[in-house]
Amino acid sequence: MRETKVVIGVILALVLMVFMAKNQNKTRQQFNNYLIDSSEIIAQQQEQKRIEDSITRVQSFKDSIKVVKTWLSTEYGNYMDAHIVWKNNTKRTIKYITFKVAGINRVGDTIVQTRNIGITTDLIIPVYEYLHVIGPIKSGTTYGWNTYWESLYRSKDKIKNIFIAGYEIDFMDGDKVEVDL
């Protein structure tokens, strides 16, 4: 009888060990799944923060320059010179700045170019000019009263002014930023 109790005890112990081993494997698997889920969540949070920081950085650079005035002047016949007066509102010195500009006609519309891209389809795109300034332009400096881009446009009857669609700034410290307005 005593042997029967020992055998039953051993069998129960084995069953208990198998049950615990299965539960331990299940618990280990759940823990590993939790670690994987946690690392994915952390990676997603880091990516979200990187995107938010990038948006914040671009937003901060939208105010990096202030355009004081733009105008066109006529020099020779129908040729128009472009003028941009602007202020460096950053705390850094600008090495180069490139303005992306488009002409505006007498009724306030952007000058566009039509390109035929198919039998019945035309592509209408703004005509952009890229105007370069070589610095250094120190922080807080207003620049452009005595400078202009000569003969930028040819038709003084059609073009009233220019608007700035964006700009790219190269800073003296090597940083570079591009802003679309």
CATH code (residue 137): 2.60.40
The torsion angle over the Cα atoms of residues 150, 151, 155 and 159, rounded to 10 degrees, is -30
Whether residues 130 and 58 share a domain: the answer is no
E-state strands within 2-127: 65-74, 80-88, 94-105, 112-116, 122-126
Residue 134 scores a pLDDT above 70: yes
161 and 88 part of one domain: yes
Domain count, the chain: 2
pLDDT of residue 167: 93
> What range defines the domain where residue 131 resides?
65-180
Q: Please identify, among 47, 62, 77, the residue that sits at the C-terminal boundary of a domain.
A: 62
pTM of the model: 0.63
pLDDT over threshold 60, residue 121: no
* Claim to verify: residue 149 and residue 70 sit in the same structural domain: yes
pLDDT score, position 61: 62
Tell me which of 179 and 27 has the higher pLDDT. Answer: 179
pLDDT at 116: 60
Residue 137 in tokens: 């332009």
Residue 17 or residue 47, greater confidence:
47
Query: Is pLDDT above 80 for 124?
Result: no
Q: Which of 62, 79, 102 is the last residue of a domain?
A: 62
129 and 174 housed in the same domain: yes
Answer yes or no: do 80 and 159 share one domain.
yes
Averaged pLDDT of the chain: 77
CB of 65 closer than 8 Å to CB of 97: yes
Kindly state the average pLDDT of the residues 96-124: 76
The set of long-range contacts for 53-58, using a CB threshold of 8 Å and a minimum separation of 24, is: 57/177, 58/177, 58/179
Q: Do the beta carbons of residue 68 and residue 142 sit within 8 Å?
A: yes
Same domain, 105 and 137: yes
CA distance 103 to 149: 13
Q: Which of 92-106, 108-122, 126-140 has the lowest mean pLDDT?
A: 108-122
141 and 130, same structural domain?
yes
Position 169, amino acid? I
Among 62, 81, 114, give the residue marking a domain's end: 62
57 plus 75 within the same structural domain: no
Model pLDDT for residues 29-70, shown as the tens digit of each residue: 666 666 566 666 666 777 777 666 665 555 556 778 899 999
pLDDT band at 105 (very low <50, low <70, confident <90, very high): confident
Which pLDDT score, from 0 to 100, does residue 19 have? 62
CA-based torsion, 144, 149, 150, 154: positive or negative:
negative
